[in-house]
Chains A and B, each alone.
Chain A
């Protein structure tokens, strides 16, 4: 199956600092990647859709200046949480799709990044 990696797996940072999370598709090219946020015992909430070579599309209520997304290549997307605060602490998961961006293609998820902001 398709493999998606995320780095780092865990990060603890001080309030006010920025944190970058990388999402890589290891054995396939991903035109589209997705970034999710998940709170304990809750569902996956889509934050943004990241398209290679273009600006990300953010979901309503997600601050694009706070959650910077860059999809510089077909195998790498990054999410930078700028000026992180304790309320940004969460489990961030990326996913990548194989295919032609239709709903018949599924998403493969990375292992997630646990962010804790002190």
Chain B
């Protein structure tokens, strides 16, 4: 079953912060975050593994709450280049690498 992402869309001014959530009805083993720009392939951002870890990459970080079966992506001091559609991909176990992707969150950063 497809994970649910929220919000579906968000518009920010440059420098503002945003949070994107990804929730699953099933237990999660790992959560993978990607960003896709229009007409291009998704680009890998980070993986979070079971164990409730947090990760960060410059001003983009994420957390994984396995009890709540959800992950959140935090965009701090957003830049114009952050615009795109963010997808979370979830794996429910460690057998194989099949991911189920959420519906996506469209983020637009304006000057």
Binding site for B on A (CB under 8 A): 1, 4, 32, 34, 41-46, 49, 93, 97, 99, 101-112, 114
Contact = CB atoms under 8 A, between A and B. Distances in A.
B87 interface: yes
A93 B34 CA distance: 14
Nearest to A100: B97
7 contacts: A45-B101, A102-B94, A103-B30, A103-B94, A104-B47, A107-B44, A111-B40
Given A45-B101, A102-B96, 10 more contacts: A32-B97, A34-B98, A41-B106, A93-B41, A104-B47, A107-B44, A107-B97, A108-B44, A111-B40, A114-B39
Contact of A43 (B32, B87, B97, B98): B87
Contacts of A4: 41
B32 A101 contact: no
Interface in B77-108: 87, 89, 91, 93-104, 106
Most buried by A among B30, B42, B43, B106: B42
Interface in B20-50: 29-30, 32, 34, 39-44, 47, 49
Given A106-B47, A107-B44, A112-B41, A43 B94 contact: no
Specify the main secondary structure of chain B where it touches its partner: loop
Contacts of B99: 46, 103, 107
Contact of A44 (B43, B87, B97): B87
A103 B51 CA distance: 14
Interface residues on B, range: 20 to 34
Contacts of A105: 97
Interface of B: 2, 29-30, 32, 34, 39-44, 47, 49, 87, 89, 91, 93-104, 106
Contacts of B97: 32, 97, 99, 101-103, 105, 107
B40 A104 contact: no
Nearest to A34: B98
